[in-house]
Structure 1
Amino acid sequence: MKVMVFHIGADRYALPLADVLRVLPVASLKALPGAPDFVRGLLDLHGEPVPVIDLSRLAGAPPDAVRYDTRILLVDVPAGGRRRRLGLKAERVIGVATIDGPLADAGVASAPWLGQVAAGTEGMLQLVAPDRMLAPDVEALLFGAGESA
């Protein structure tokens, strides 16, 4: 499986490459007052407002300074009965890697967006599951409740 590898703090994480629509440079975001601190704001993507989540803050790690290799990974998530775009601010994006070995279940109930783990020569790599990224209250805040297509 091909994956996009990045860091949260010192740990390595990955998104399945099939889930990544685009990789964008960090841009200025419009703040969303009243949103949880891990919601960094709205990205103007060619006139479409796209909410952006800071993966470091979501994981409870201190936010990292924006670096030359900080990126916004654009994914689709289920919200309001359809697929919606969501930006994931990821620090130290390394690039594409291949996971060849077996994956072990290592989900954490308090972080349902964390998935399976692969062990390799460079250490463990935990997958992020975009479809489990948003709690229902955050989904409603960002995309509205019960919107139809």
Structure 2
Amino acid sequence: MKVLVFHIGRERYALPLAAVLRVLPVARLKPLPGAPHYVPGLLDLHGDPVPVIDLSRLAGTPPSAVRYDTRILLLDVAAAGQLRRLGLKAERVAGIADIAAELRDGGVAAAPWLGRIAAGGANSTASAAGTAGMLQLIEPARLLAPEVAAQLFGEVPA
């Protein structure tokens, strides 16, 4: 499986490459009053507002510093029966890797957005992606609880 590798703090994470629509440079965000602490604001994407989740804040670590390799990963997520555009602010985007190892259950009930784990089994196709250590997948379908989707996209949870 091809993945896009990035860091949250010192740890490596990945998104399935098929889920990533675009990789954008970090941009100024419009603050979104009342949003959860891990939503720093809205990205203006050609006139369309796109909520952005800071993955560092979501993981409970200090907000990531903006670095030369900080990016906004654009993907579609299901919210109230529709696909909606969502941005993920990811620090230290390292590149693309191929996971050849067997994936194991991540077992993190408190963070349902964390998925399966590849224990040192990612063979990098980009030298910056690195191959050492555990790599945990992020499950895009589990990023938004219904009440958060309602805050960000205006739907009332069922």
Q: With structure 2 as the length reference, what TM-score do the two structures score?
A: 0.90
- Matches of 2:144 and 2:156, distance apart in 1: 15
Deviations 1:117-144 (A, max 9, x none): 0011500000000110001111100012
- Matches of 2:89 and 2:30, distance apart in 1: 14
Aligned to 1:101: 101
Mean CA deviation greater in 15-24 or 138-147 = 138-147
- Segments ≥4 residues shifted beyond 2 Å: none
Say whether 1:84 aligns with 2:84: yes
- Matches of 1:8 and 1:32, distance apart in 2: 23
- Matches of 1:81 and 1:106, distance apart in 2: 27
- Matches of 2:70 and 2:22, distance apart in 1: 14
Q: Tell me, what secondary structure is at the counterpart of 1:87?
A: strand
Q: How does 1:41-60 map to 2 (within 5 A)?
A: 41-60=41-60
Gaps of 5+ in 2: 121-130
Deviations 1:78-111 (A, max 9, x none): 0121100000000000010000010000131110
- Matches of 1:127 and 1:79, distance apart in 2: 20
- Matches of 1:77 and 1:110, distance apart in 2: 20
Residue among 132, 142, 145 paired with 2:152: 142
- Matches of 1:6 and 1:43, distance apart in 2: 20
- Matches of 1:137 and 1:39, distance apart in 2: 14
RMSD: 1.2
- Matches of 2:109 and 2:119, distance apart in 1: 21
Seq. identity, %: 73
- Matches of 1:64 and 1:31, distance apart in 2: 16
Say whether 1:130 aligns with 2:130: no
Q: With structure 1 as the length reference, what TM-score do the two structures score?
A: 0.96
Query: How many pairs are equivalent?
Result: 147
- Matches of 2:80 and 2:101, distance apart in 1: 36
- Matches of 2:64 and 2:83, distance apart in 1: 29
- Give 1:146 shift: 5.0
Q: For 1:142, give the aligned amino acid.
A: L
